[in-house]
Structure 1
Amino acid sequence: MTTSVADTIRSFRLACPELPDRSERRAIREAAGLTQAQVATAVGVSPQAVALWESGRRTPRGHYLSRYAEALRTMRELA
């Protein structure tokens, strides 16, 4: 059975982690008692990047998207 290009693209989309709404990201971090700098260190980016992600002005890409999504899930569990 061959997989169509459309099926392959859909599988990429399903594998892409979902981020909470931008309005929730800061609340999740604050509820966990963490600073933007602490989250940035855990994800491997600058605190400015986390600030931009929380404001919705930028969206993480590549492996940073996965790492940030995982960090948010973990923080949500801690809160």
Structure 2
Amino acid sequence: MTSTVAEKIRSLRNVRPELPAPAVRKAIREAAGLTQAQVASAVGVTAQAVALWESGRRTPRGPLLGQYAEAVRTMQELT
């Protein structure tokens, strides 16, 4: 059975970016030599938001989840 373009697009909505554990995210950032403020600036949030995400007290949602996951992947590639 062939999927339509619309079906493929709808299926993308259910794809949730994978994030490492909070402590691992922090270690990746530190290994990349970046501050929480630098990551926050790249993602478009405050340094406090990144601190909360790295502590596990909060998790990014919506578009920020994808942006942060991409930032973590990029930082991991730098190390």
| Map of 2:65 onto structure 1 | 65
The separation in 2 between residues aligned to 1:71 and 1:32, in whole angstroms, is 11
1:18-39 deviations in whole A, cap 9, x for unaligned? 1001110110000000000000
Runs of 4+ in 1 over 2 A off after TM superposition: none
Residue 17 of structure 2 corresponds to 17
Identify unmatched segments of 5+ residues in structure 1.
2-7
Which residue matches 1:52?
A: 52
In 2, Cα distance between the equivalents of 1:21 and 1:36? Answer: 16
Return the letter of the residue paired with 2:38.
Q
Q: RMSD across aligned C-alpha pairs, in angstroms? A: 1.6
Structure 2 length as normaliser, TM-score? Answer: 0.83
Unaligned runs of 5+ in 2: 2-9
Note the C-alpha offset of 1:59. Answer: 0.2
Structure-2 residue corresponding to 1:37: 37
**Partner amino acid, structure 1, of 2:43:** V
Q: What is the match of residue 5 of structure 1?
A: none
Match of 1:4 in 2: none
2:51 alignment partner AA: A
Q: What is the TM-score of this pair, normalised by structure 1?
A: 0.83
Q: Which has the higher helix share?
A: 1
